Amino acid sequence: MTRKSIFAAAALAALVAVSGFALWAQEPHASYTPEGAWLVKGTFGPGSPTFLWMDNYTSDSTNQGRTGTILCTLPSATATASGHGVWARIEKNTFAFTAWRIRLDPNSQPIGLAKFWGTVTLPANDSMTGTLNAEFYDLAGNVVNRMLGGTSAGTRIQIQYE
């Protein structure tokens, strides 16, 4: 064998070894991210009303698919129209989020804050399920109400054209 043949065989063996390791290290199931617009509904348990809202997840440009911001729209006469927050991947297809809204009195004056947090899991690209918690604060930062153990389910908003 020539020196050139030995080098080519060694390079080929190294390529096969690296490729095999890369295939072994890859996750066997599809990965999804929450990026995009969602129509979501949730409840805090039996007897609780069902809430309907929209979320828009955007990735941080330096950490695509792993962290980002969230804009939440929940119709309400007693809070700002939208909430703002952040999300982060905590495991494959599961993401934690925290979002805040400003609470208002009937005259649209601030009376405190509302914090929402939980997780969303994407079992498929266009659907999510999740957990939901909320705490409501007065202007001094005291908790005035707490709702824990809610659930949510959402569908990614799709483009319609004809």
The answer to whether 84 and 97 are in contact (CB under 8 A) is no
**Alpha-helical segments (H) within 3-93:** 3-25
Angle at 134 between CA 128 and CA 137, to 5 degrees: 150
**What's the pLDDT score for residue 61?**
87
**What's the pLDDT score for residue 82?**
82
The pLDDT tens digits for 137-155 are 999 999 999 999 999 999 9
The answer to whether 72 and 41 are in contact (CB under 8 A) is no
**What's the pLDDT score for residue 134?**
93
**Can you give the residue ranges of every domain in the chain?**
36-156
What are the 10-residue block averages of pLDDT along the chain, 162 residues in total? Answer: 59 52 56 94 89 93 91 79 92 96 89 95 96 96 95 94 84
Q: Residue 100: which residues within 8 A CB-CB, separation 6 or more?
A: 83, 84, 85, 113, 114, 115, 116
**What's the pLDDT score for residue 35?**
95
Task: Tell me the pTM.
Answer: 0.78
**What's the pLDDT score for residue 7?**
53
Picking from 31, 54, 113, 55, the residue whose alpha carbon sits closest to that of residue 79 is: 113
Domain 36-156, CATH 2.40.50.140 — does that match?
Answer: no
What is the DSSP pairing of strand 143-156 with strand 110-124? unpaired
**What's the pLDDT score for residue 23?**
44
